[in-house]
Amino acid sequence: MDLKTTFLMMGLLIGGVSCGGSGAKSSVDSTELSTDEIYPVIYVIGQGDQTSTGFTLYRNTERGEGVVLGEGDSFTVSAFGNEITQEYVPSFLKTTSHVSYNIGLEGNVAGEEVVISFNRAWQEEPSVSTAFLPDKITIISHSQFDTHLVSKDQVIQITWETNTRSPTEVSLIAFCYSSQASNTTRLTTQLILTTTHERSFQFNFGDLLNDPITSNPEYTENCGAEFSVKNRGVSSLSEKFSGGRMEVMQRDSIQFKFLD
């Protein structure tokens, strides 16, 4: 199947890491806002034997100013009989447009409830959000701990295991670095196949390099790709916030490097 018709191009990033928020030079202290003025973006991701929860806060909407945890505010993540709390960090205040926090827990069990509580010193009851981890998904054709070297014309067959009957999301991100020693620019094109009921996928790395973006001669000497599979789960975000977005998933991924 032709990758150019199978995948949907989602975007292009040139340069370093991009920053979210409105581009403001400083962030807002969460204690300056009521809970219904805070818009959280929360990800709960199970992979292997661990579960990580990442969250970024904004003022009113995802396009608003970034919000950092002020003194007396915290997030607690509870699952697998354990809990970890992310509290106020003085050095984060007023130093960046936004801060992304991450809490990792040992354990990853399908169907397990992950509870995320936003605690405020002046508020007796926390704002509680929940997520249920979906069925695990594991790539079995390639080791996730290695970067796999492939030739341009090599056909790559990837297979995975999962117990879910729901469709699996498959994504492939190709990237190239500039061949100029003085230039570390990374050129990225993200290609996504939304869902599949299959348990395998096949592609040719050369099809990616022939794309008009990644075939730029300045970049083709140092190219690679990341392939990932995801199962989506069910979540419920606290209604006390000013809206928000929450996603829960099981994920596995592998890395490739192109050999000319």
Q: Which of 25-39, 155-169, 197-211, 246-260 has the lowest mean pLDDT?
A: 197-211
Question: Is 125 a residue whose pLDDT tops 70?
Answer: yes
Q: The whole model's pTM is what?
A: 0.80
pLDDT per position as a tens digit, 147-169:
889 887 788 999 999 998 888 99
202 touches 233 (CB < 8 A): no
Full 3-state SS string of 161-206 = EECCCCCEEEEEEEEEECCCCCCCCEEEEEEEEEEECCCEEEEEHH
Banded pLDDT at 12 (limits 50, 70, 90) = very low
CATH 2.60.40 domain extents, the chain? 3-16+135-232+250-259, 28-134+235-249
- Residue range 28-134+235-249, CATH number: 2.60.40
Which of left, alpha, beta for 92 (phi over 0: left; psi -120 to 50: alpha)? alpha
**Higher pLDDT pick, 127 / 164:** 127
First-residue to last-residue Cα distance in the chain: 23
The predicted pLDDT at position 95 comes to 53
Give me the mean pLDDT over the 71-76 stretch. Answer: 94
Banded pLDDT at 189 (limits 50, 70, 90) = low
Instruction: Give the C-alpha separation, 223 to 256, whole Å.
Output: 9
Q: Residue 177's closest CA among 31, 4, 15?
A: 15
CATH fold of 3-16+135-232+250-259: Immunoglobulin-like (2.60.40)
Q: Residue 259's closest CA among 104, 160, 148?
A: 148
Strand, coil or helix: 83:
strand
Residue-averaged pLDDT of the chain: 81
